[in-house]
Amino acid sequence: MRILLVGAGGVGAAFASIAARRDFYESIVVADYDAASAERAAGADARFSWAQLDAGDVDAIVALAREHRVTHVMNAVDPRFVMPVFEAARIVGAHYLDMAMSLSQRHPEEPYSKTGVMLGDQQFAQHHLWEAGDRLALVGMGVEPGLADVFARYAADRDFSEIDELGVRDGSNITVEGYEFAPSFSIWTTIEECLNPPVVWENGTWHTTEPFSDPEVFDFPDGIGPVECVNVEHEEVLLMPRFVNAKKVTFKYGLGDEFIGVLKTLSKLGLDKTDPVEVRSGAGVVEVSPRDVVAALLPNPARLGPQMHGKTCAGLKVTGLDKAGRPAAKYYYHVVDNQWSMEEYGHQCVVWQTAICPVVALELMQRGVWQGAGVLGPEAFPAEPFLNLLVEYGSPWGVKDL
């Protein structure tokens, strides 16, 4: 297995540090637009090399992959670059993984009730091409989406005979010293998923709703406690119904009133927009994306680890009937303590938790445990081997009755 890792930001660098401790691959090429970031991440292991790369340039990705005889392309860049990296992997004939799927587009007339182009639609439209090429595009294989999707498969196979709802519930008690507002993940991605109309699967179809709708206080385990969660657009809702039978699928995230207020303000001011606008400067008129300006003004999430305190939890609430036909409700979860991830790996907990899942998936692919062709989500594969290997990596998961 020869891996091309596209993206050496917070998650990409964490991926490299986790993979450096495993021996299931031959080599990893770490590539990023920022050459210094790629070189720094590649320093984790002697099997790693690095390259400067524009993730939006299909030809450049193809050339680099062919130069290194890449067998697997790991996409660790913002979702706006999903399709170029996805296309390049198919052209090369490599297997592909990502942690976020192709972007959505709102319904032009009724965005808060009807779906337009949904997350991943562009990728699933190419399922037949990947299947014909006998190559696997494993999409949505981060922590969220990713681990909750594995939990959905586990719940359906092991614990439930009938599922009423698969409800992803993510939250944390993380604080960041010295900052009034400092997201622990990419603000570009956060704006995209939080301000888009959330999607809900219900009664055999997808529909949308208002951002931040249907608030619910959920009591998270391991000392995190009660956090108010709201509907957010996320890939699990588009993935789970394709592979697991459930009457309803939702995704709710614990954002907090202050965070939601900031996002609403950015939207009102147009600072969430991605299309460039003309701005006067000393050098004349330049074109900049408002969202890129916001990202430039905020601290780099990858470098916030020393100032972060607390834990992050990703999990799935499942309700329905157990294997004996009795009503049941369970929460499957994975918690990472920032102090532990910083001491053990030197990476903050949110990016580390995201990065470990594709490393585990790649090892299962190398072992031949996860095999397939086409565009598939994590739910398409047996869950137990993944969860067992996650524990072997030193990162246990849990389940509690609700």
pLDDT tens digits, one per residue of 86-123 = 999 999 999 999 999 999 999 999 999 999 999 999 99
What is this structure's pTM? 0.93
Question: The domain that contains 301 carries what CATH number?
Answer: 3.30.360.10
In a domain, 190, yes or no: yes
In a domain, 371, yes or no: no
Range of the domain at 225: 147-279+288-349+396-401
* Predicted local distance difference test score (pLDDT) of residue 172: 94
Query: How many other CB atoms sit within 10 Å of the CB of residue 177?
Result: 10
* Predicted local distance difference test score (pLDDT) of residue 283: 73
In a domain, 274, yes or no: yes
* Predicted local distance difference test score (pLDDT) of residue 335: 98
Q: Do 330 and 224 have their domain in common?
A: yes
* Predicted local distance difference test score (pLDDT) of residue 357: 98
* Predicted local distance difference test score (pLDDT) of residue 387: 98
Q: Do 341 and 196 have their domain in common?
A: yes
Question: The domain that contains 83 carries what CATH number?
Answer: 3.40.50.720
Q: Do 228 and 155 have their domain in common?
A: yes
Q: What is the CA radius of gyration of the chain?
A: 20
Q: Of 57, 82, 98, which residue is a domain's last? A: 98
* Predicted local distance difference test score (pLDDT) of residue 69: 98
Query: How many other CB atoms sit within 10 Å of the CB of residue 131?
Result: 16
d(CA 160, CA 247): 13
Q: Do 229 and 323 have their domain in common?
A: yes
* Predicted local distance difference test score (pLDDT) of residue 232: 94
* Predicted local distance difference test score (pLDDT) of residue 193: 79
Summarised one tens digit per residue, pLDDT across range 41-89 is 999 999 999 999 999 999 999 999 999 999 999 999 999 999 999 999 9
* Predicted local distance difference test score (pLDDT) of residue 295: 84
Q: Do 80 and 157 have their domain in common?
A: no
Q: Do 198 and 333 have their domain in common?
A: yes
Contact assessment for residue 201 and residue 246, using Cβ atoms and an 8 Å cutoff: yes
Tally of domains within the chain: 2
In a domain, 376, yes or no: no
* Predicted local distance difference test score (pLDDT) of residue 345: 96
In a domain, 134, yes or no: no
Q: Do 179 and 53 have their domain in common?
A: no
* Predicted local distance difference test score (pLDDT) of residue 300: 80
Contact assessment for residue 207 and residue 243, using Cβ atoms and an 8 Å cutoff: no
* Predicted local distance difference test score (pLDDT) of residue 338: 96
* Predicted local distance difference test score (pLDDT) of residue 305: 84
Q: Do 298 and 158 have their domain in common?
A: yes
Q: Do 166 and 311 have their domain in common?
A: yes
d(CA 28, CA 8): 12
In a domain, 305, yes or no: yes
In a domain, 127, yes or no: no
Q: Do 80 and 177 have their domain in common?
A: no
Candidates 328, 340, 351; CA nearest to 396 is: 340
Give 10-residue mean pLDDT values along the chain (402 residues): 97 97 98 97 97 98 98 96 98 98 96 96 98 98 96 98 98 87 77 89 96 94 95 97 97 87 88 87 82 84 85 98 98 97 95 97 98 98 98 97 96
Contact assessment for residue 189 and residue 94, using Cβ atoms and an 8 Å cutoff: no
Q: Do 333 and 253 have their domain in common?
A: yes
Q: Of 68, 83, 98, which residue is a domain's last? A: 98
* Predicted local distance difference test score (pLDDT) of residue 34: 96
In a domain, 315, yes or no: yes
Q: Do 328 and 220 have their domain in common?
A: yes
